[in-house]
Amino acid sequence: MDLRLLSRDLSLYLEHQVRVGFFGSGVGLSLILGFSVAYACYYLSSIAKKPQLVTGGESFSRFLQDHCPVVTETYYPTVWCWESRGQTLLRPFITSKPPVRYRNELIKTADGGQISLDWFDNDNSTCYMEASTRPTILLLPGLTGTSKESYILHMIQLSEELGYRCVVFNNRGVAGENLLVIRCTRRRMHLQWLEALVHPILSLSLPPSPFLSPFPVSRFRMLLLNYLGKTGPKTPLMAAATFSVGWNTFACSESLEKPLNWLLFNYYLTTCLQSSVNNRIHYKHLLSSKMLMISPSLLSPFPMSPWFVSCHSPLPQAIPIETAKKNPNVALVLTSYGGHIGFLEGIWPRQCTYMDRVFKQFVQAMVEHGHELSTM
């Protein structure tokens, strides 16, 4: 082999590549196509999957498959952001915020505080022109959320399309109202707040309109379970749904305290809670906090009624799947991917997410076909 001839040929080839360019030579294009095909195969085989539907009763399972088919359809997370932390961080910045006009109402509580409610009455509803027949959806945002959160606005937009009324509970001190007391985390007080909310809403009309209560995120998921467990069959709620449930508070706290999660989520939540009381009530020990702890007292069993659906990306050790299988009124929808209220899908996930589609189909199924459950 003539090494001088080989070196000359190699030099000519490299010189040609520089003149033509990486992509013009066809080599770069081939690499990109090969990588794209490999990534597409990986995405379709390992990322895009149907959610796991866990129910305690065959009738409820058939009902969801017939009237809420999204729970059995393949969930396609955003192809360039399907990791849970990425979806959680991206959602607040990328999803749109539909314009919504609220009517605010303040309700006094037994502990001397007040609750701020934002109503979307939907008086222009063509499906339910009479307010007395218009279904009411009670929405509770996350730990530091308000009625201005993008996921709340999208749920209200979808409810408007269905002709329903919505009322949003604002956490104390985070929506601009005066924080009269600092009892913000006691389980017993929250149960009293839920009771104080439900009964006035039901008294809006006689006969009462259908009342569903989807509680999408954060600690109110557990409070909802406590409330339903306390009221049982006597609850005035027609149905309930939750998203991104922290079933096991010990596992959730342990996860939040890990270095990366503490930096990305825990510290931010703590500072948001501090800002809700800063310059209003001087609690030096509270304002110097650096970590959020979840109280184990919030952990609660599944409700015996009403019909209950929970949708979230799994933290395997924190989901009571076997317990759910024993309750005929409960269904769990477990996706393989997705973040905390960050079930983004599509190339550019500005509009509705997978969570929004589950919400819309479930509330519509319960309002329009809920009577079928009693005959199954």
Number of helices (H) and strands (E) in the chain: give both, helices first: 13, 9
Most confident of 140-149, 172-181, 345-354: 345-354
Contact by Cβ (8 Å): 115, 169: yes
Question: Is a pLDDT exceeding 70 seen at residue 321?
Answer: yes
pLDDT tier at 273, thresholds 50, 70, 90: low
pLDDT for residue 252 is more than 60: yes
Name the helix (H) or strand (E) containing 334. strand 330-334
Q: What is the mean pLDDT of the chain?
A: 75
pLDDT greater at residue 267 or residue 297: 267
**At 233, is the pLDDT very low, low, confident or very high (cuts 50, 70, 90)?**
confident
Is 69's pLDDT higher than 90?
A: yes
- The DSSP 8-state label assigned to residue 209 in this structure reads P
Domain boundaries defined on the chain: 50-342+349-375
- Residues composing the chain: 376
188-211 average pLDDT score = 57
Q: Is the whole model's pTM more than 0.85, yes or no?
A: no
For residue range 201-222, what is the model confidence (pLDDT) as tens digits?
665 543 455 656 555 455 556 6
Assigned CATH for 50-342+349-375:
3.40.50.1820
Question: Taking residues 340-367, what's their average pLDDT?
Answer: 89
Q: Beta-carbon neighbour count of residue 107 at 10 Å?
A: 14
Q: Beta 307-312 vs 330-334: how paired, if at all? A: parallel
Give the strand pairing for 103-108 and 165-170: unpaired
pLDDT score recorded for residue 370:
86
Burial 207-227 (b: 16+ CB within 10 A, else e): eebbbbbbbbbbbbbbbbbbb
- Answer whether residue 234 shows pLDDT above 90: no
44 DSSP assignment: I
State the Cα–Cα distance between residues 238 and 103, nearest whole angstrom: 24
